[in-house]
Structure 1
């Protein structure tokens, strides 16, 4: 059993989906503190050949709250959603997969109060479209181990899932050691995303945008190839 644990991000970059695809169970780490100015509720799309930031409006977002406690600002969200889809139309109307991607996004924007629930649905909808069969769970609904330290929580989750391998993004090399995980009979691997590029209209390529951009320009088969453009270290 291979697992990965990551904070929820809305329509994140390709590396996040590579991680989901690389494991048997992907666990959304939603009962840790919210990080302001992070990537939970925002990302970048391509607009007029440049990176363009979008942010889902939140209500009383605070680093003193858990991610699964953070609410969407429903008053602002209605206008924001309308503007967001108009921006997507302006940016991607001529992209080959515009219609299907818009339908996926509209399914994702269900009537949820919490940002973590919206993100969960968007991940599930995107994975279903791409044929990724990894089971996705939330830490807040299953493991109930918030009193443990960061490393202890991961070990506890691995033990409860009978996981023999834990995969973390490459940035985790600064946080976790293979020796610590080996002491608990768990193999720690780090996922490094290789260079992924593709045609974005006739502009110079802009890398590391939201998966929205990749979905707009690439077929399912092409994206499946991208999901394997990685190294496990």
Structure 2
């Protein structure tokens, strides 16, 4: 069958490696029922990094406070702070001199014009925008729509079965939590992403990797960014 799946939380304006993995996937499962994690080094669901004259800086969505175990798909965006305008102002301030600002920034304005109430919906829209700009075409499914159960590796195997995938392409960050037995028992081949972050022209001094993908797009434009992404394979 050779149907390859990627499973990942619906992160906000993700970095380049997120999309490099999707180049090799037939189906992308948004793990929207995972627990929302805030204020740790692994917190990418509501924020990512951009580049400023002072170096890398977080760009964040404002969310309503929620109990600790709340799943991502139940996290609501705040209506107490004008984070949409604040984010656009932050991007305009730091990228207005980028070579492709006029090409990319209007698409970001369209994204921020959305009226989503939930974090997962806004993040999915941000991912779909970047998929379009990078010309990466992949089927998207939400885990919450599959009726899956289990935790950790067992949950992943259940998801893979529901989307009829016999290959699972994982990011290397999951190696510490990986148990091969559930996958082997289900006849699922596990592949590990091999991503080398490419360097490209940036504003504001020396190159900084692992920023939001919008940094690449604003600096290099759609056509060149597509080539850079594919050369990172």
Q: Same fold (TM over 0.5)?
A: yes
Q: TM-score, normalised by structure 2?
A: 0.91
In 2, distance between residues paired with 1:185 and 1:153?
15
Residue matched to 1:98? 101
TM-superposition CA deviations, 1:187-224 (whole Å, max 9, x none): 10111320311111361111111111011112334323
Q: Deviations over 1:107-142 (max 9, x none)?
A: 2221010000000111111111221111222111x2
What is residue 216 of structure 1 aligned with on the other side? Answer: 218
Contact 2:167 2:190 in 1 (8 A): yes
Deviation at 1:58, TM superposition (A): 0.4
Counterpart-to-counterpart distance in 2, 1:222 and 1:21: 16
How far 1:178 moved relative to its partner? 4.1
CA deviation vs aligned residue, 1:29-60 (integer Å, no higher than 9, x gap):
01111111211111110111510112111001
Asked if 1:133 corresponds to 2:137, the answer is: yes
2:61 maps to 56
Please say if residues 88 and 109 of structure 2, whose CA atoms lie closer than 8 Å, have aligned partners that are also in contact.
no
Which residue of structure 2 aligns with residue 117 of structure 1?
121
Could you tell me which residue of structure 2 aligns to residue 2 of structure 1?
A: 4
1:1-233 superposed matches below 5 A: 1-37=3-39, 38-48=43-53, 50-76=55-81, 79-109=82-112, 110-140=114-144, 142-145=145-148, 147-201=149-203, 203-229=205-231
Instruction: Flag the structure with higher strand content.
Output: 1
Contact 2:157 2:182 (8 Å CA) reproduced: no
How far apart, CA to CA, are the structure 2 residues paired with 1:22 and 1:104?
25
SS of match in other structure, 1:60: coil
Q: Provide the aligned length of Structure 1 versus Structure 2.
A: 227
1:198, 1:210 → 2: CA distance?
A: 13
Q: Distance in 1 between matches of 2:10 and 2:204?
A: 32
Cα-Cα RMSD: 1.7
Q: Distance in 1 between matches of 2:154 and 2:204?
A: 48
Unaligned runs of 5+ in 1: none
Identify if the C-alpha distance between structure 1 residues 58 and 174 changes in structure 2 by more than 3 Å, giving closer, same or farther: same
Q: 2:198, 2:232 within 8 Å by CA — same for their partners in 1?
A: no
